[in-house]
Chain A
Amino acid sequence: MDQSFVTAALELPSPGLPLEQTLAREESDELLALLYRQMRSLAGPRQDLDDLVQAAAERALKALPRFERRSSLSTFTYGIVYRTLIDQQRWYRRFQRRFSLDAREEPEDLAFPRSSETDLRELTRARRLYAALDTLPQEKRATLILHDLEGLDVSEVAKISGAKEATVRSRLRDAHKKLAEILREDPLFDPEVPA
């Protein structure tokens, strides 16, 4: 996915290059697109997605000079996206505790594609899936998305989340259990229902 970009990106970050100069290079668009996709997959279509992408991009552009090629660039940026999201969730929880806001708004204006009837059905399924994922703790939610929905293996998920592989497996097991309970009660996810 990002092999062409890896080649370019490895030349991109000269150590100490100012953010403005880094941004001026065309390769940064590829990095921003990668970050957007990764944040969209981890956080889902939510109203503050742009804010999250911007925060992750700022971190990524600062951290790129420290990238040592020990993992793929995608894993490296996924780690940044993961940490940005977790930090934001923690901040939001603290914020909510201090200022008792209403419950989180329902993401009504999600930017899902709507082209056909099938898409509408998938759209409804996706909404319910995100609602189910939102009931999981953030770490387990991210682990499940990365492993089951994005197709990363456990070792990569462990690198991204900064946890041991055993922890990742444990998180996966718990997330599967909880998600299966929710999906079992939803007829839309019944395998007998036609797509």
Chain B
Amino acid sequence: MSAPDLERLRVAKRAYDATRPSEVEVQAGVRRARLWLGRPKPRRRWFSKGLVFAVLALGGLAYGKPHAIGELVAHVTKPPKAPALVGKHAAYPLPPVEAPASDPAAAPPVLAAPVALPPPLEVTLREVAPSNPPPELLRAKAPRRVTAPSAASEPPAPAPPASAASEPSGAAAEMSAWGRVGQALAQGDDTEALSALQQLSRSDDERTRDKADLGRAQLFMAHGQTEKACALARSLTQRRAGSRIERQAQVLLKSCAR
């Protein structure tokens, strides 16, 4: 460096020295550093990792099965109801849809009396819907599946006592209706079962409606009334009734195409 450059560097050093931090500034900085260092820093790595995992799991579930989150939330928030007619885990909430089962064409009078199932049809039904037991099996299983024994053993839909403080709730009514279905199936009275299922099809709860419609479709199919069964199954798939019910409706629809 030349002499003038050295002189300039000396001037620069003088400016540098003049702007050195004062004691007050240093103490303030020390105080801030001490506060920051002394602050408890919760290092809960497991919490953040768990949170990320939960968010990813929920996000994946919501992406893969859009209905699953709603079903899960409703399953947690709603009180348990009577078991479904079909399937072990049929008690899923479903998105609100119109209930096409309310049309009079699907009314049970078509079955005036219990019809004995022809063997080939039974075989076909077993082949088509292996997860859904045929009505005969349902009959055999129904009494055990009804979790409200009082509803199953007592006469169906008894009138509430006049002294009762309030009317029976919708859930209780549904329970007795499902009890009727189970009892009718156990006794081989398919007409009564269809009637009870039709009543359930008019329920305010879409889950109940969908399950009842699926039961009706399966009963219709078992009795050879394919058109009605297929119409119901088609409506169930169109209204996106939920993964399990929709899958079973699809199985029914496969036999419609044959």
Contact = CB atoms under 8 A, between A and B. Distances in A.
A113 interface: yes
SS class of chain B's interface: helix, strand, loop or mixed? Answer: helix
A134 interface: no
B165 to A, nearest CB: 63
B31 to A, nearest CB: 9
A184 B5 contact: yes
A57 interface: yes
A36 interface: yes
A183 B9 contact: yes
B30 A33 contact: yes
Contacts of B34: 23, 28-29, 32
Nearest to A53: B33
A111 B25 contact: yes
Contacts, number: 106
A112 interface: yes
A153 interface: no
B9 A122 contact: no
A191 B34 CA distance: 42
A149 B16 contact: yes
Contacts of B22: 113
A58 B18 contact: no
A53 B12 CA distance: 25
B30 A149 contact: no
Contact of B37 (A19, A33, A195): A19
B38 A180 contact: no
A50 B9 contact: no
Nearest to A40: B21
A180 B1 contact: yes
Given A33-B26, A36-B26, A40-B21, A50 B32 contact: yes
Interface string A42-59: 000100011001100110
B1 A195 contact: no
Interface in B2-59: 2, 4-5, 7-16, 18-22, 25-27, 29-30, 32-34, 36-38
Contacts of A32: 29-30, 33-34
A36 B12 contact: no
Contact of A191 (B4, B18, B30): B4
A49 B29 contact: yes
Given A45-B19, A112-B19, A123-B19, A50 B33 contact: yes
B2 to A, nearest CB: 8
Contact of B15 (A28, A54, A126): A126
List 7 tightest A-B contacts by C-beta distance, closest first.
Answer: A125-B15, A122-B18, A191-B7, A126-B19, A180-B5, A36-B29, A32-B30
12 contacts: A33-B30, A37-B20, A40-B20, A50-B32, A50-B33, A61-B37, A129-B15, A149-B12, A179-B12, A183-B12, A184-B8, A195-B14
Interface of B: 1-2, 4-5, 7-16, 18-22, 25-27, 29-30, 32-34, 36-38
Interface of A: 19-20, 23, 28-29, 32-33, 35-37, 40-41, 45, 49-50, 53-54, 57-58, 61, 111-113, 119, 122-123, 125-126, 129, 148-149, 176, 179-180, 183-184, 189-191, 195
